Amino acid sequence: MDYEPKILGFLCNWCSYAGADLAGVSRIQYAPNLRVIRVMCSGRIDPIFILEGFLKGIDGFMVLGCHLGDCHYINGNYEAEIKIGVLNKLLKLIGFSERLILDWVSASEGNRFAQVVNEFTEKIRDLGPSPIKDEKYKINITDELNVIKSALSDIRLRVFIGRKRSIITEGNVYGEVISEEEFDKTLDQAIYDEYIRNKILLKIKNKSKSVLEISKEIRVEPNRVLKHIICLKSRGFVDFDKIIDIYPKFISIKEE
């Protein structure tokens, strides 16, 4: 199958966008598959943007910022690294993470810019078109991407992401500095939990289901599902619907 990958790139104004301009000034030829969206800083990139793109059928996403320590806005690229890192972990759960790359290109690295674009384009070419464009996988992948999107729109993961750098450098409200390793352990658990919880919400969006039914559908043990249901209920996202036989059925009442 012959296909031309469609790749979107977020480039920060001060380093990678300037590096891309330099590639042009130096007439360095590279693959014509990339479409660039200029932002002031890589830290501006909300993971939601990338998910919107994947849902639309983009084959690959590049986020390019200044090298760490060289950010025009001091530490925006560190924030980008955290955000894209969490997104990457979620995408890994659905086998989509290879279609996203975060890299650093300075304003003086025209050559490197071309090289990074070429390598990524080839990688995406090898991976083939986004499975969302294939009728066979479309519904499944759309669901999975929407699950991740709602997990990353919810307050819990966003607070984790937003607080990470201050907690591992300045400390939490009690002044305790938590090591990145320790923080990531908690974060990884939260990433997985939120993925499962949002998956449950999707499954009971329009039709109420019992814990057992959900458990079978998403292949997670019933006791875990029940714990998640209780948590979602306390957040006001799930309500008890009715009892069929002896099984209580739950339905999502989360507003989109």
Partner 1 sequence: MEDIKIGIFICHCGTNIGGVLDIESITEYAKTLPNVIYATDNIYTCSEVGLTEIRDKIKEFNLNRVIVASCTPRTHETLFRNTCQEAGLNPYLFEMVNIRDQDSWVHMKEPEKGTEKAKDLIRMGLSKATLLRPLEKVKVDINPSALIIGGGISGMHAALNLANQGFQTTIIEKESELGGNLKLLNKLYPIQVDASKLLEIIYLVESHRNINVLTSSIPVKVEGFIGNFETTIKKNKQISKIKTGIIIIATGAKALNPEGLFGYNGKTVISQLDLEQLLKENNVKAQNIVMIQCVGARNDERPYCSNICCMTALKNAMLIKEMNPNANITILFRDIQTQGTTYEDYYRKAREKAILFVKYSPEKPPLVKDSVVEVYSELRNLIINIPYDLVVLSTPLIAHEDSTKLAKMLKIPQQGNKFFLEAHVKLRPSDFATDGIFICGSAHWPADVRESISQAYAAASRASRFLSKDYLEVEGATAEVDTEICIKCNICIKICPFSAISKNEEGEIVVNKILCKACGVCGASCPVGAITILHFTDEQIISEILSCGVGY
Binding positions for partner 1, rule: CB under 8 A: 4, 6, 8, 13, 17-18, 20-21, 23-25, 27-30, 32, 35-41, 43-46, 48-49, 52-53, 56-59, 69, 72-76, 79, 83, 114, 132-133, 138, 153, 155, 158-159, 161-163, 165-166, 170
What is the closest distance, in whole angstroms, from the C-beta atom of residue 184 to partner 1 in the complex? 18
Q: How far apart are CA 86 and CA 152, in angstroms?
A: 9
- Cβ proximity to partner 1: between 58 and 238 the closer is 58
Task: Phi first, then psi: give them for residue 210, nearest 5 degrees.
Answer: -85, 165
- Cβ proximity to partner 1: between 139 and 243 the closer is 139
Q: Which residue has the tokens 């949002």?
A: 198
What is the closest distance, in whole angstroms, from the C-beta atom of residue 128 to partner 1 in the complex? 14
Q: Which residue has the tokens 């339905």?
A: 251
- Cβ proximity to partner 1: between 172 and 189 the closer is 172
Q: How far is CA 144 from CA 8, 84, 104, 181, 225, in A?
A: 21, 18, 29, 28, 18
What is the closest distance, in whole angstroms, from the C-beta atom of residue 181 to partner 1 in the complex? 18
Q: How far is CA 202 from CA 10, 101, 105, 186, in A?
A: 30, 28, 39, 24
CA 109 to chain centroid? 27
- Cβ proximity to partner 1: between 40 and 244 the closer is 40
Q: How far apart are CA 172 and CA 163, in angstroms?
A: 9
- Cβ proximity to partner 1: between 132 and 211 the closer is 132
What is the closest distance, in whole angstroms, from the C-beta atom of residue 185 to partner 1 in the complex? 21
What is the closest distance, in whole angstroms, from the C-beta atom of residue 71 to partner 1 in the complex? 8
